[in-house]
């Protein structure tokens, strides 16, 4: 019996396109651009100062930290590659923790990320504003109001862009990725030229590289945080430090030194766009699982983009732009990023034994996630055990506070009728609708 009209491939394609779900518009090159956008942001320009500082200016230790950070980041990427290919869910770490460890750890992750990741986006936006305005003010500081207004403009521009069109967001990401790689190439080539020149002052620090004071365990952990931030693309934590790239430009190309802060601004803007994109998907996935209000999992009826999730995360990020001690607020939750990486790698280990038949296009060498879990515990516990600070207590209490929300609203499913009225009103206002089926949980 022949195929009916409804079975024609074109008809099937039209039905798929008509479904209210996230569209798979992200291609290979776009995906690579988003990954580069996440990894290459502000960190590569400002982290070298932090690594040297916490290495006590011991060049040998600093270079060892950089090498080890690259290796740890590679191991982490291999772990995430297995999880990403076996469970290609738009929630990323959240979905993997939920699958491996259950609902409560996943809720702690989404609860923490709901505030720390927008705070990190706010810090990125402020850092972008800092570098974007610097060429116009020279050595004088730009007005705080101007920087905050520019930061808000960047946040909302990218929030609206990602809420309206995935293709346009991908195009912006690609353009800024190319620009930032050009800027990094200029710095890399300049450094090579200086080294090949062989001038004594350029090579002096490499003599007796380990001759300086050796840092303790806490300082090593802090140096790792700095180095891993420069490599990392799966967590967001900004440290405001001396602008290494600008110092380099003043010494190497003083006549056009303004190019470097502009290039840093371009790099940060691209990283911010990537972070806004991924954060919207995280909120969307959390809402689909019932861990966030249902409105956040709805899609715009015209573009099939998670507009409410974008608006939600952008509003929170905008609030974090207001306080002047933003970096301090972000640092309170710094250790939680590696705690979540440890939980994610633990989920990989558990799933390997609990679901051995799960289709895994790629399988990481099993000792690798164990190494990542051990590294995560070191980075989390070293500062707490050897140098306890009040900020870690605040962060722990904040994470513990998730239980106050989880028990009544998630576990016992407490519900208020007026929430439905608010959801209905906002749904009409934003022109959004619930997603169809479960295909929307896949990557675009």
**Is the whole-model pTM more than 0.85?**
no
Residue pair 313/121 in contact by the 8 Å Cβ criterion: yes
Q: Which residues contact 57 (CB under 8 A, 6 or more apart)?
A: 212
2 falls in which pLDDT band (50, 70, 90)?
Answer: very low
154 falls in which pLDDT band (50, 70, 90)?
Answer: very high
Walk me through the domains of the chain, giving residue ranges and CATH numbers. 24-441 (1.20.1740.10)
* Lowest-pLDDT choice from 194-198, 267-271, 372-376: 194-198
Report d(CA 426, CA 420) in Å as an integer: 10
Chain segment 59-82, per-residue pLDDT in tens: 788 888 889 988 988 898 889 888
Judged against a pLDDT cut of 80, whether residue 241 lies above it is answered with no
More confident residue, 356 or 202: 356
- pLDDT mean over 89-103: 86
Judged against a pLDDT cut of 70, whether residue 219 lies above it is answered with yes
Angle at 315 between CA 116 and CA 303, to 5 degrees: 110
pLDDT at position 205 is 57
Residues in the chain: 444
Judged against a pLDDT cut of 70, whether residue 236 lies above it is answered with no
Contacts 24+ apart (CB under 8 A), 417-423: 419/293, 423/293, 423/294, 423/295
* Lowest-pLDDT choice from 97-106, 200-209, 317-326, 429-438: 200-209
- pLDDT mean over 148-163: 91
């Amino acid at each position: 019996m022949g195929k009916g009209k409804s079975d024609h491939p074109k008809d099937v394609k039209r039905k798929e396109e008509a479904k209210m779900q996230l569209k798979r518009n992200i291609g290979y090159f776009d995906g690579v651009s988003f990954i580069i956008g996440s990894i290459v942001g502000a960190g590569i320009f400002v982290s070298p100062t932090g690594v040297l500082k916490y290495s006590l200016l011991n060049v040998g230790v600093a270079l060892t930290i950089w090498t080890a950070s690259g290796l740890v980041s590679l191991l982490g990427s291999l772990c995430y590659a297995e999880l990403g290919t076996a469970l290609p869910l738009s929630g990323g770490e959240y979905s993997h923790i939920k699958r491996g460890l259950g609902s409560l750890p996943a809720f702690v992750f989404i609860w923490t990320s709901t505030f720390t990741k927008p705070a990190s986006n706010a810090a990125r936006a402020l850092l972008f504003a800092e570098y974007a305005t610097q060429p116009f003010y020279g050595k004088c500081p730009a007005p705080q109001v101007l920087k905050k207004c520019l930061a808000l403009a960047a946040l909302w521009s990218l929030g609206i862009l990602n809420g309206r069109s995935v293709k346009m967001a991908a195009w912006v990401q690609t353009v800024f990725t190319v620009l930032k790689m050009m800027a990094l190439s200029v710095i890399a080539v300049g450094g090579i030229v200086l080294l090949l020149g062989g001038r004594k002052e350029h090579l002096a620090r490499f003599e007796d590289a380990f001759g300086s004071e050796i840092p303790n365990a806490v300082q090593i952990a802090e140096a790792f945080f700095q180095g891993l931030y420069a490599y990392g693309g799966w967590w967001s934590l900004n440290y405001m430090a001396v602008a290494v790239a600008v110092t380099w430009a003043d010494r190497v190309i003083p006549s056009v030194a303004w190019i470097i802060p502009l290039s840093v601004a371009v790099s940060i803007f691209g990283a911010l766009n990537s972070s806004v994109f991924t954060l919207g998907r995280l909120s969307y996935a959390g809402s689909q699982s019932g861990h966030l209000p249902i409105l956040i999992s709805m899609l715009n009826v015209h573009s099939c983009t998670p507009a409410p999730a974008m608006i939600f995360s952008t509003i929170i990020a905008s609030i974090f732009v207001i306080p002047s001690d933003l970096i301090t607020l972000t640092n309170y939750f710094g250790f939680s990023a590696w705690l979540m990486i440890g939980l994610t790698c633990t989920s990989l280990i558990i799933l390997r034994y609990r679901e051995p038949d799960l289709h895994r296009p790629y399988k990481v060498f099993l000792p690798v996630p164990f190494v990542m879990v051990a590294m995560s515990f070191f980075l989390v516990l070293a500062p707490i055990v050897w140098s306890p600070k009040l900020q870690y207590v605040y962060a722990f209490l904040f994470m513990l506070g998730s239980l106050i929300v989880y028990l009544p609203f998630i576990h016992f499913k407490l519900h208020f009728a007026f929430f439905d009225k608010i959801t209905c009103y906002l749904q009409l206002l934003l022109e959004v609708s619930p997603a169809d089926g479960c295909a929307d949980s896949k990557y675009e």
